[in-house]
Amino acid sequence: MKLSQYYLPLLKETPADAQIASHRLMLRAGMIRQEGAGIYAWLPLGHRVLKKIEQIVREEEDRAGAVEMLMPTIQQADLWRESGRYDAYGKEMLRITDRGDREMLFGPTNEEMITEIFRAGVRSYKDLPTLLYHIQWKFRDEIRPRFGVMRGREFLMKDAYSFDIDEASARHSYNRFFAAYLRTFSRMGLTAIPMRADTGPIGGDLSHEFIVLADTGESAVFCDKRLLDLPIPGADTDFSKDLQPIVDQFTNYYAATDEIYDEKEFEQKVDEDNRVSARGIEIGHIFYFGTKYSKAMNALVTGPDGKNTAVHMGSYGVGVSRLVGAVIEAFHDDDGCKWPMSVAPFHVGLVNLKPGDADTDAACNNIYKGLQAAGVDVLYDETKARPGEKFARMDLIGAPLQVVIGPRGLGEGKVEVKRRSDGAREELALEAVVEYASSAVRDGLSHP
RNA sequence: CGGGGCGUAGCGCAGCCUGGUAGCGCAUCUGUUUUGGGAACAGAGGGUCGCAAGUUCGAAUCUUGCCGCCCCGACCA
Nearest residue to nucleotide B76, by CA–C1' distance, is A142
Distance CA A55, CA A158 (A): 11
Q: Which nucleotides of B are covered by protein (CB under 7 A)?
A: 1-2, 11-13, 25-27, 34-39, 68-77
Kindly state whether residue A83 falls inside one of the protein's structural domains. no
SS3 A353: coil
- Comparison of pLDDT for A394 and A15, the residue scoring more: A394
Within this chain, do residues A118 and A166 fall inside the same structural domain, yes or no?
yes
CA of A8 to C1' of B46 (A): 21
CA of A11 to C1' of B43 (A): 25
Model confidence band, residue A381 (pLDDT cutoffs 50, 70, 90): very high
> In 3D, which of A74, A113, A70, A71 has the Cα closest to residue A96?
A74
Q: What is the pLDDT of residue A199?
A: 66
CA of A179 to C1' of B20 (A): 72
Within this chain, do residues A194 and A234 fall inside the same structural domain, yes or no?
yes
Kindly state whether residue A45 falls inside one of the protein's structural domains. yes
Nearest residue to nucleotide B39, by CA–C1' distance, is A386
Kindly state whether residue A88 falls inside one of the protein's structural domains. no
Tell which of A276, A304, A336 closes a domain: A336
* pLDDT reading at A16 higher than 80: no
Within this chain, do residues A229 and A262 fall inside the same structural domain, yes or no?
yes
Model confidence band, residue A373 (pLDDT cutoffs 50, 70, 90): very high
Distance CA A277, CA A379 (A): 40
Closest nucleotide C1' to the C-alpha of A285: B77
Can the peptide bond before residue A400 be classed as cis, meaning omega within 30 degrees of 0?
Answer: no
Question: What percent of chain A lies above the pLDDT cut of 90?
Answer: 79
Sign of the alpha-carbon torsion through A224, A255, A108, A135: positive
CA of A143 to C1' of B1 (A): 8
Sign of the alpha-carbon torsion through A210, A214, A220, A224: positive
Closest nucleotide C1' to the C-alpha of A148: B70
Q: What is the pLDDT of residue A143?
A: 82
Tell which of A295, A315, A336 closes a domain: A336
Within this chain, do residues A283 and A419 fall inside the same structural domain, yes or no?
no
CA of A342 to C1' of B21 (A): 58
Within this chain, do residues A332 and A364 fall inside the same structural domain, yes or no?
no
Q: What ipTM does this complex have?
A: 0.90
Find the range with the poorest average confidence among A52-66, A203-217, A273-287, A418-432. A203-217
Tell which of A336, A357, A387 closes a domain: A336
* pLDDT reading at A202 higher than 60: no
CA of A36 to C1' of B69 (A): 8
Question: What percent of chain A lies above the pLDDT cut of 70?
Answer: 98
Q: Where are the alpha helices (DSSP H) in A29-164?
A: 44-64, 77-83, 85-88, 111-121
| Count of residues in chain A | 448
Closest nucleotide C1' to the C-alpha of A281: B77
Closest nucleotide C1' to the C-alpha of A154: B77
pLDDT digits (tens, 9 = 90+) for A128-171: 999 999 999 999 998 888 889 998 999 999 999 999 999 999 99
CA distances from A416 to A235, A335, A338, A424, A430 (A): 35, 19, 18, 10, 9
Using a 10 angstrom Cβ sphere, with 0-12 exposed, 13-18 middle and 19 or more buried, the burial of residue A255 is buried
Task: State mean pLDDT over A179-185.
Answer: 97
CA of A128 to C1' of B77 (A): 28
CA angle at A4 for the pair A3 and A6, rounded to the nearest 5°: 60
Strand partners, A415: A428
Within this chain, do residues A317 and A395 fall inside the same structural domain, yes or no?
no
CA of A252 to C1' of B46 (A): 64
Task: State mean pLDDT over A66-95.
Answer: 91
Q: What is the pLDDT of residue A200?
A: 60
pLDDT digits (tens, 9 = 90+) for A23-47: 999 999 999 998 888 999 999 999 9
CA of A196 to C1' of B67 (A): 43
Containing structural domain, residue A309? 3-71+110-336
Within this chain, do residues A203 and A130 fall inside the same structural domain, yes or no?
yes
> In 3D, which of A261, A118, A255 has the Cα closest to residue A178?
A255
Mean pLDDT (chain A, rounded)? 93
Within this chain, do residues A148 and A188 fall inside the same structural domain, yes or no?
yes
> In 3D, which of A289, A313, A80 has the Cα closest to residue A198?
A289
Within this chain, do residues A126 and A177 fall inside the same structural domain, yes or no?
yes
Within this chain, do residues A313 and A435 fall inside the same structural domain, yes or no?
no
Nearest residue to nucleotide B73, by CA–C1' distance, is A144
Kindly state whether residue A98 falls inside one of the protein's structural domains. no
CA distances from A292 to A113, A123, A225, A289 (A): 14, 18, 36, 6
CA of A36 to C1' of B74 (A): 23
- Comparison of pLDDT for A96 and A371, the residue scoring more: A371
CA A266 to the chain's CA centroid: 29
Task: State mean pLDDT over A249-259.
Answer: 90
Kindly state whether residue A329 falls inside one of the protein's structural domains. yes
* pLDDT reading at A99 higher than 70: yes
Closest nucleotide C1' to the C-alpha of A92: B76
Using a 10 angstrom Cβ sphere, with 0-12 exposed, 13-18 middle and 19 or more buried, the burial of residue A274 is middle
Closest nucleotide C1' to the C-alpha of A156: B77
Closest nucleotide C1' to the C-alpha of A157: B77
Q: What is the pLDDT of residue A432?
A: 96
Q: What is the pLDDT of residue A90?
A: 80
Closest nucleotide C1' to the C-alpha of A335: B38
Closest nucleotide C1' to the C-alpha of A209: B77
Number of folded domains in chain A? 2
Within this chain, do residues A60 and A140 fall inside the same structural domain, yes or no?
yes
Strand partners, A74: A106
CA of A354 to C1' of B31 (A): 21
Kindly state whether residue A76 falls inside one of the protein's structural domains. no
Nearest residue to nucleotide B75, by CA–C1' distance, is A143
Task: State mean pLDDT over A416-440.
Answer: 96
Kindly state whether residue A196 falls inside one of the protein's structural domains. yes
Task: State mean pLDDT over A402-422.
Answer: 95
- Comparison of pLDDT for A289 and A217, the residue scoring more: A289
Residues A405 and A434 sit within 8 Å (Cβ to Cβ) = no
Within this chain, do residues A309 and A385 fall inside the same structural domain, yes or no?
no
CATH number reported for the structural domain that contains residue A360 in this entry: 3.40.50.800
Closest nucleotide C1' to the C-alpha of A391: B37
CATH number reported for the structural domain that contains residue A9 in this entry: 3.30.930.10
Q: What is the pLDDT of residue A219?
A: 82
CA of A141 to C1' of B23 (A): 40
Kindly state whether residue A414 falls inside one of the protein's structural domains. yes
CA of A153 to C1' of B63 (A): 36
Sign of the alpha-carbon torsion through A105, A108, A110, A111: negative
> What is the SS3 assignment for A260-304?
CCCHHHHHHHCCHHHEEEEEEEEEEEEEEEECHHHHHCCCEEECC
Task: State mean pLDDT over A366-373.
Answer: 97
Q: What is the pLDDT of residue A204?
A: 61
* pLDDT reading at A247 higher than 80: yes
Model confidence band, residue A98 (pLDDT cutoffs 50, 70, 90): confident
In a 13 Å sphere around the CA of A375, the CA atoms on its Cβ side amount to 5
- Comparison of pLDDT for A203 and A324, the residue scoring more: A324
Nearest residue to nucleotide B12, by CA–C1' distance, is A13
SS3 A162: strand
Distance CA A54, CA A441 (A): 19
